Structure 1
Amino acid sequence: MNLKPTLIAVALAALAASAAAQPKAKAPAKPVPPAAPKASDFRTPNPNDVLVVDTNKGRIIVEMIPEVAPAHVERVRELAKARFYDGHTFFRVIENFMDQTGDPENKGTGGSTKPDIAGEFTFRRGQETPFTLAADQTISETGFIKSLPVMTQSMMLAAMTKDGKISGWGLYCPGVMGMARGEDVNSANSQFFFMRAGYPALEKRYTAWGRVISGQDAVLAIKVGEPVADPQDKMERLRLLADMPEAERPKVRVIDPASPWFKAEIARMRAAKGADFSACDVNIPVEVK
């Protein structure tokens, strides 16, 4: 049956009116940039846990996290005090992966005269561990210990363990510091690497012991090569902040993960990323003067 043109026009007008009356879906709100952290949102890290690495590409500042890898932090601290690392080149640098250094032979086969270290691929988290929750996946929890992103079992499991603690491990986000080793899982000695990008495949296989809190641009500027051809980029000096003369010592403050600002930043990024959220997405503000 054919409809007359006037009836078609009336029908179309009715449809248009009905569509106009329907509420329109709102576009997703863009994440609101956070306000700058307040002075009270920052903490001053222990100067014995901070490395100041002067490279020919710029200064890198690393916070070591003894809560997750005490033996590795102590080894790096000892070698830093002995000025062992001064002049070592970045001999193996892989784009979208890491910068390796810390070998006196500058080729990946050497180490210090100290004994090798047993792997600290996981750690034990207790109620006293300074942990800030970023995401609860029911059986596991993602969060931060100081500046280091970590994942642990759910704290609800602690009641079922002998020591009242649960297992955790560092997450290999950009800037995380890892310890190199050979095929033997307990063969770490002096060599370490700076992460250029996230690389989850390293988790629970290589010890994560700290994180770059300033100078990631210098990490990314190191010449790439596997091995690096004629490596010129190097650590000119590596010192503990605590060992630097007062006149040369930078004043370092880093965001406190327990602060209201940081918790709000976690919530903001979770809302922005949705199911794709990762602890690697969370900003770690730092002040260096």
Structure 2
Amino acid sequence: MADIKEPENTIVMETTKGTVFIELFPDIAPKHVDRIKKLTRERFYDGCTFHRVIEGFMAQTGDRSGTGREGSSHGSLKSEFSNNQHLRGTCSMARGNNLDSADSQFFICFGDCPFLNGQYTVWGQVIEGMESIDRLKRGEPARDPDKIISMKVVADVN
């Protein structure tokens, strides 16, 4: 079982490849963490595919259409860049060309991605289950892509 420090700031994500625990970083990205928790509690992420999975780079999800072109009904967030590095297991918000265009889509880094530092909002870190992310089918999109079965805030799990 994952070493969970704060159940209110930990996500458990059930994927088609296994369970992943993510520690949230409200101190460095409070608005993004609030958005992730809001969408999680709305069950927005349940059923989302990993629509962009690039070997050695990252796995992206958070678009209910599975195309990578859509988001939630909550609109864009202002960036919250930090000194946190994009390392293996880092969870960061995807965005368009506009630095303040993150909404619901996020990615998890397979390895260190220093070229992303200071350009994308880091909001969490995989603390257990990275091997499940490693097993996701690759592609843009992958054929028969893997999915998030369910995503919950640990404090809400009975």
TM-score by length of 1: 0.53
The corresponding residue for 1:46 is: 6
1:220 counterpart = 2:134: yes
The corresponding residue for 2:125 is: 211
1:44 Cα offset (Å): 4.5
1:229 Cα offset (Å): 2.7
Structure 2 alignment gaps of length 5 or more: none
Structure-1 separation of matches of 2:141 and 2:92: 18
Which runs of structure 1 show a deviation greater than 3 angstroms over 4 or more consecutive aligned residues? none
Structure-2 separation of matches of 1:46 and 1:190: 22
Structure-1 separation of matches of 2:35 and 2:109: 19
Contact conserved, 2:4 with 2:10, CA < 8 A, in 1? no
The corresponding residue for 2:110 is: 196
User: Residue by residue, what CA displacement relative to the aligned partner does 1:40-93 show, whole Å, maximum 9, x if unpaired?
Assistant: xxx741111000000010000000011111110000011111111000000100
The corresponding residue for 2:92 is: 178
The residue correspondences of 1:63-142 to structure 2 (distance < 5 A) are 63-122=23-82
Structure-2 separation of matches of 1:44 and 1:189: 26
Task: Tell me the SS of whatever aligns to 2:8.
Answer: helix
What is the aligned-residue RMSD (CA, Å)?
1.0
The residue correspondences of 1:250-289 to structure 2 (distance < 5 A) are none
**Greater RCO, 1 or 2 (C-alpha within 8 Å, sep 6+):** 2
The corresponding residue for 1:272 is: none
TM-score by length of 2: 0.96
Larger Rg: 1
Structure-2 separation of matches of 1:44 and 1:228: 32
Among candidates 233, 238, 253, match of residue 151 of structure 2: 238
Task: Tell me the SS of whatever aligns to 1:51.
Answer: strand
Structure-1 separation of matches of 2:9 and 2:53: 25
1:101 Cα offset (Å): 0.2
Q: What letter is aligned with 1:236?
A: I
Task: Tell me the SS of whatever aligns to 1:236.
Answer: strand
The corresponding residue for 1:142 is: none
Task: Tell me the SS of whatever aligns to 1:224.
Answer: coil
Structure-1 separation of matches of 2:26 and 2:4: 16
Q: What letter is aligned with 2:157?
A: M
Task: Tell me the SS of whatever aligns to 1:170.
Answer: coil
Q: What letter is aligned with 2:149?
A: E
Structure-2 separation of matches of 1:221 and 1:197: 14
